[in-house]
Chains A and B, each alone.
Chain A
Amino acid sequence: MGNILEIENLSKKYPDFTLDSLSFSIPQGTIMGMIGENGAGKTTTINLILNEMRKDGGSIKIFGKDHLEYEKAVKERIGVVFDDFHFPDLFNANEMELFLKGIYATWQPKTYRDYLNRFGLPLDKQIKAFSKGMKVKLSFAVALSHQPQLLILDEATSGLDPVMRDEMLDILLEFIQDEKNGVLFSSHITDDLEKITDYITFIHKGKLLFSKTKDELLYHYGLIKCGAETFNQIEKADIIAYRKQDYEWQVLVADKEEARRKYRKCIIDSVTISEIMLLHVKGEKK
């Protein structure tokens, strides 16, 4: 199985921000979660993939093809759902289709109708009258109706209530039932990511901190909680990041089991994605 998206040494310099040779890839049939603080470079990465801005260096391959050389062909096969809604208020779902039919050679009217029915979206009502949830659902319907192979979500589920978020996760899992497809899911709601993503890419201050399978993070990483005395005994090499709380030290380690053998006096918990993120961002490195 090849990669649906391959990013290598991607760089972009701004006066106040630099994306520093970012590399990661999404294998076919999988969901990649992209996490990081606001301003860490997630949206910049997406904008560079879509060539909204010119990259300064590195390469981006989508479906094995250079994203600039084959920009149009590649974009025919990409569906994007943005964080805030991007359709004209006065249009209705029917008019959206008229417009998009003229954009995508592969537009599927039946698929679009099926999604609208499934989401309970009216064809002839102005988008203005839609609720926030309905708008996001329409975004998904639009993004999925031209047979995309790569779905890019930029904080797409952020404004949704838990029930709708769950429904959208269903849609994503359905989407990757086809092994040729893949998803890049940028979100700060680590809950969603924890459920369905296969990989997690963590970007911090324009740099890649890691890109790993989620299971490795959840099942191998561990959080040592201990007092100052024990903390001093922990080997430097074992510490990914640490931070001192009021009554305890928290130490992120890559191998929970090994840590359990080595530091028997400590409490060693499993970690969540958000704890990993928090320790990397707020914690220190020894």
Chain B
Amino acid sequence: MNGLIIKDLITLEKQKISTIAGLLFTTIAFLIFWQSTGALLLGAVVLPFLTIFTPFTFRASDEQWKWDTYAISLPVSKKQIVASRYLSCSIISIAYFLFSLALNIGVYFWFQDHSITLHLASAFIGLGVSLLFGFLILPTSFTKGLEVSVWVLVILAIIFIGVVVIIKKANFDIFSLSPTPSQITLLMGLSVATLIGIFIGSYLVSVAMYRKLHS
């Protein structure tokens, strides 16, 4: 199964220059325009948005070289093929998260505008969003091909923007919130639990669909 992840990582490595350049450019631009708030935005919104393209990159590469046909000859189970894809995507999400974490901590010490809690929350929310999108997209990206998955992505993006707009309309000022530690713990607990639930559901659906495709 290591080989499957190595394959995905080599695939991504092929676009490392454009990825890193894009990442640096976006980061610098956000920091110049919004300073410390830029880091919060990057962590919670922009970086997760960048990671959700990962499943597409993998899928596009797979389709280009007819991976599914070749994979049947390899000593790996269908479950492992599906699981490895979840792992690869999670590794990328975590890599972006580590970058975001470092950035937010750095920005906190540099600007000291927002509390460290907010900066850390930005990074963690980003990780959560990134994983959430990954889990929602992966089942379709496995079985329905690239085109359908792009549509799923578009729908998800619309929902996401919708939520943001509603929050905005409600005149909700996130910076004025001062939740108690117990509220934060509860919120974190709930988020993690939801995420795990979605992961399990997503994985089971992916395995079932991938198996059905090859039956």
Using CB atoms and an 8 Å cutoff, list the residues of chain A in contact with chain B: 47, 50-54, 71-76, 78-80, 82, 84-91, 95, 98-105, 152
Contacts and interface: CB of A to CB of B under 8 A. Distances in A.
25 contacts: A50-B73, A52-B69, A53-B214, A71-B77, A73-B75, A78-B73, A79-B73, A80-B70, A86-B65, A86-B66, A86-B70, A88-B61, A88-B65, A89-B64, A90-B61, A95-B10, A101-B3, A102-B1, A102-B4, A102-B5, A102-B6, A103-B4, A103-B75, A104-B74, A104-B75
B64 A88 contact: yes
B65 A89 contact: yes
B215 interface: yes
B25 interface: no
A99 B6 contact: yes
A102 B2 contact: yes
A99 B65 contact: no
Contacts, number: 76
Interface residues of B, number: 25
Contact of B11 (A88, A103, A152): A88
Nearest to B5: A102
Nearest to A105: B75
A81 to B, nearest CB: 9
Given A88-B61, A90-B11, A99-B3, A72 B70 contact: no
Contact of B3 (A75, A79, A102, A152): A102
Contacts of A98: 6, 10
A80 B73 CA distance: 6
Contact of B10 (A80, A99, A105): A99
Contacts of B1: 102
Contacts of A71: 75, 77
